[in-house]
């Protein structure tokens, strides 16, 4: 019976491919002919697609749990000794399974959209209802087409259900030791959900383009999808970096590794997209910018997976290299992106809108911010692909590493942060000049303080530190100012309310404001953390054995003992090092326990860092080679404000979640707000 499960999974995967084809066809034809029966049929087919993929994924999970080593993927990535949680996580631990998980996640998200569409369009009149049904039909059709493409890719080049028959291995090779961590359980699914969110945005953008219409309510549908994609991508990137910091034992937290870039580039574009959507919702303009960013974000995420899965780059993350896979993903990329760009070129004219605003306005600043984010994304892309192109052109080999990316990225971030600070303070359409002067003065003040701080740095005057400090200060000061201004406005309006009946800010706009403030604060926190770690880190590389101590940054680290540790999957040599107060070495503040692990299944060696986390500083110790009978090469780092980097990411995610959180009753308020905005803006014009 157990041996049949993979075959059932395989058949289900084939069935889901057929369902994807049928669902896409009936949705497309249905929405083209405005045939609601056909669209409803397509919706049912999409559910069938979802359930077949769900069961296919479940059967793979089952094979992992049941240790069915006749399945090649299981035999290569699991082991009967592996803990149950890791067996399940191993499903997305490598190429084939992660592709299946990705496809399943697209189907899941599509099914949720399918299920929710009735609530979206409950209060519409008949004509709009039909239009919405056709719109959702197109969204689902495109999702089904994407699934179709990925499914064919899975079936023909990387089938997770491929068997090793008749010579079934007795025991599986182990899951890659690096991946045996809580990080593996959480980091890839988050990233995949982010990519899937971008896929949904891509589908929605194409659906709008094909329909040639983009009413405000479709933007409302798009908004949570964009925000969710952004939240998941933020989480995926931050979690990956946290995992690298804790597990890989290199001491860094961002390496500008090609695969990190592959997920970071879509994040940058998704960030631009979030802001572009704000622009479009507020001004009814910039529709093409928003739609194009949707297409771009998805294309770049696909390009990223091409980079990761084709094995053309050297990276710690690179999946097993296989040129046919690379070619297949490349052709998928060409088909999807080519079709999308063609539709964009054909239909863009229908969605063009003229709007009017001043050079000094929120519109300009947001637009510039979006442009710089996209430029940053393309710069990172350029740096990632340059060595490949360089080699292709027979110019020799080259590596583009962190120094290059920092030199390009830090100034661009600084510019974005400048805009981030001002934009919330500036009015839509135009701003009075009197408002601009204090902001400018403030800016110079902040720059001066930043300069002063950077002079205090041990390494002398450092431009990166200057930029980081100035950016963080500027952002925080501007956020405070924004808060004050908004409180002032609210006070004024509520005072006037009795006489003038000016509406107070609605609940949704308040919610979005809080979300924006938190996310921007998160950026400031991350910048502070990153600047502090890269400029004020103190480290020592030394030979240490039991009884030896080393003072560092106001602490004394004492090597207490060496210990042998054994777990299910590895044996390790562990150094027990106590952290003591620098002033009084009797006071023990904590212990760090770095390890050198040797995995039983494949004898692979890994160094696991010992970290004492704190709000103000991390103490990071990693254990190197054995130098004598008792002594090891020990690397100690004092990393001020290191946790702030990820704290900031948490703030960003929280801000995004607050902004995306649906409030049903708030929608009514918003509707009434929309009705009253025309009258209130007229009143404002009169009072000015």
Partner 1 sequence: MNPLFRSPYLCLLFWLLSLALCFGGATFLATAQEGPNMGASYQQQAIAISKELRCPMATNQTLFESQAPIAHELKGQIFSLLEQGLKRDEVIDFMVQRYGEKIRYQPEFKTSTFALWIGPLLLLILGVGLCLVLISRNKKSTY
What letter would DSSP give residue 425?
Answer: G
What is the nearest approach in angstroms of partner 1 to the Cβ of residue 277?
A: 18
Beta bridge partners of 595: 574, 608
Which CB, 398 or 663, lies closer to partner 1?
A: 398
With beta carbons less than 8 A apart as the criterion, state whether 75 and 21 touch: no
- Comparing CB distances to partner 1, the nearer of 315 and 509 is 315
- Burial degree of 479 (CB within 10 A; 0-12, 13-18, 19+): buried
Query: Shortest approach of partner 1 to residue 361 CB, angstroms?
Result: 9
Select 626 or 681, whichever has its Cβ closest to partner 1.
626
Residues paired with 610 in a beta bridge:
621
* C-alpha atoms less than 13 angstroms from C-alpha of 389 in its C-beta half-sphere: 7
d(CA 391, CA 445): 47
Nearer to partner 1 among residue 335 and residue 407 (C-beta): 407
Instruction: Decide whether 381 or 524 has the Cβ nearer to partner 1.
Output: 381
Q: Rounded to the nearest whole angstrom, what is the least distance from the CB of residue 386 to partner 1 in the complex?
A: 5
Integer CA distances (angstroms), 490 to 246, 359, 422, 676, in order: 45, 27, 20, 17
- The token pair at 465 is 């530190």
The answer to whether 219 and 265 have CB atoms below 8 angstroms apart is: no
Q: Apex CA 426: angle with CA 424 and CA 429, to 5°? A: 120
Q: Within the chain, what is the greatest distance between any pair of CA atoms?
A: 86
Residue number with CB closer to partner 1 (154 or 380): 380
Binding site for partner 1 (CB under 8 A): 250-252, 255, 257-258, 314-316, 318, 354, 356-360, 363-364, 367-368, 371-372, 374-376, 378-379, 382-383, 386, 390, 395-404, 407-408, 410-412, 414-415, 418, 431, 433-434, 436-437, 440, 462-464, 467, 541, 607, 624-625
In the complex, the smallest distance separating the C-beta of residue 436 from partner 1, rounded to whole angstroms, is 5
In the complex, least distance from residue 427 CB atom to partner 1, rounded to whole angstroms? 13
Nearest-angstrom CA–CA distance, 304 and 263: 7
Per-residue tokens: 43: 């919706």
**At its nearest, how many Å lie between partner 1 and the CB of residue 638?**
16
Q: Which residue lies nearer to partner 1 by CB, 74 or 244?
A: 244
- Looking up tokens 């103190």 gives 538
Cβ proximity to partner 1: between 335 and 437 the closer is 437
Whether 96 contacts 157, CB under 8 Å: no
Neighbours of 608 (CB within 10 A): 21
The CB-of-289 to partner 1 minimum distance in angstroms stands at: 10
Give CA separation, 688 vs 99, 362, 432, 482, in Å.
Answer: 58, 19, 11, 21
| Contact predicate 91/184, CB 8 Å | no
Question: Quick one: 371 or 481, whose CB is closer to partner 1?
Answer: 371
Report in angstroms how near the CB of residue 145 gets to partner 1 at its nearest: 32
Closer by beta carbon to partner 1, 25 or else 408: 408
d(CA 30, CA 40): 9
């Amino acid at each position: 019976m157990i041996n049949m499960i993979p075959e059932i999974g395989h058949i289900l995967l084939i069935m889901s491919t057929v369902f994807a084809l049928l669902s896409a066809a009936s949705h497309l034809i249905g929405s083209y002919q405005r045939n609601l029966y056909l669209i409803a049929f397509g919706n049912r087919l999409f559910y069938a697609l979802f359930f077949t993929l769900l069961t296919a994924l479940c059967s793979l999970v089952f094979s992992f749990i049941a240790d069915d080593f006749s399945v090649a993927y299981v035999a290569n990535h699991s082991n009967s000794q592996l803990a149950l949680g890791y067996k399940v996580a191993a499903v997305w631990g490598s190429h084939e399974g992660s592709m299946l998980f990705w496809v399943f996640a697209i189907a899941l998200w599509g099914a949720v959209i399918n299920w929710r569409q009735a609530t979206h369009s409950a209060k519409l009149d008949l004509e709009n209802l039909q239009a919405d049904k056709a719109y959702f039909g197109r969204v689902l059709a495109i999702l089904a087409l994407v699934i179709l493409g990925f499914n064919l890719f899975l079936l023909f080049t990387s089938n997770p259900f491929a068997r090793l028959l008749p010579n079934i291995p007795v025991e599986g090779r182990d899951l890659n030791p690096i991946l045996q961590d809580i990080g593996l359980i959480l980091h890839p699914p988050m990233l995949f959900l982010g990519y899937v969110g971008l896929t949904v945005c891509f589908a929605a953008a194409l659906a709008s383009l094909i329909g040639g219409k983009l009413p405000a309510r479709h933007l409302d549908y798009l908004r949570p999808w964009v925000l969710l994609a952004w939240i998941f991508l933020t989480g995926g990137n931050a979690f990956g970096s946290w995992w690298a910091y804790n597990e890989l034992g290199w001491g860094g937290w961002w390496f500008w590794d090609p695969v990190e870039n592959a997920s970071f580039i879509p994040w940058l574009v998704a960030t631009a997209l979030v802001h572009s959507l704000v622009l479009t919702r507020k001004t009814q303009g910039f529709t093409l910018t928003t739609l194009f960013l949707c297409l771009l974000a998805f294309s770049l995420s696909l390009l990223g997976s091409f980079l990761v899965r084709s094995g053309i780059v050297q990276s710690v993350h690179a999946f097993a290299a296989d040129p046919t896979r690379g070619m297949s993903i490349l052709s998928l990329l060409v088909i999807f992106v080519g079709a999308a760009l063609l539709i964009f070129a054909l239909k863009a004219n229908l969605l063009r809108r003229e709007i009017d605003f001043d050079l000094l306005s929120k519109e300009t600043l947001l637009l510039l911010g979006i442009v710089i984010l996209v430029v940053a994304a393309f710069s990172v892309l350029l740096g990632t692909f340059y060595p490949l192109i360089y080699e292709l052109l027979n110019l020799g080999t080259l590596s583009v590493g962190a120094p290059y990316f920092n030199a390009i990225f830090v100034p661009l971030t600084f510019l974005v942060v400048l805009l981030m600070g001002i934009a919330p303070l500036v009015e839509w359409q135009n701003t009075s000049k009197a408002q601009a002067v204090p902001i400018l003065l403030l800016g110079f003040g902040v720059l001066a303080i930043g300069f002063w701080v950077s002079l205090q740095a041990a390494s002398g005057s450092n431009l990166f530190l200057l930029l980081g400090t100035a950016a963080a200060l500027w952002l925080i000061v501007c956020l405070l100012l924004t808060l004050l201004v908004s409180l002032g406005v609210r006070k004024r309006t509520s005072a006037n309310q009795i006489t003038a009946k000016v509406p107070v800010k609605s609940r949704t706009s308040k919610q979005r404001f809080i979300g924006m403030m938190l996310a921007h604060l998160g950026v400031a926190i991350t910048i502070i953390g990153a600047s502090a770690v890269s400029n004020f880190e103190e480290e020592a590389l030394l030979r240490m054995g039991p009884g030896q101590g080393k003072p560092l940054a106001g602490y004394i680290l004492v090597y207490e003992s060496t210990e042998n540790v054994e777990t299910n999957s590895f044996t390790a040599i562990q150094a027990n090092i106590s952290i003591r107060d620098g002033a009084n070495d009797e006071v023990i503040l904590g212990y760090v326990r770095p390890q050198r692990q040797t995995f039983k299944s494949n004898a692979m060696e890994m160094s696991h860092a010992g970290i004492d986390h704190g709000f103000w500083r991390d103490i990071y110790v990693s254990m190197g080679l054995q130098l004598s009978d008792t002594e090891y090469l020990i690397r100690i780092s004092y990393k001020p404000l290191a946790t702030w980097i990820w704290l900031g990411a948490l703030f960003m995610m929280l801000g995004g979640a607050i902004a995306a959180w649906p409030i049903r009753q708030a929608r009514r308020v918003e509707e009434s707000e929309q009705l009253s905005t025309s009258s209130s803006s007229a009143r404002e014009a009169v009072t000015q």
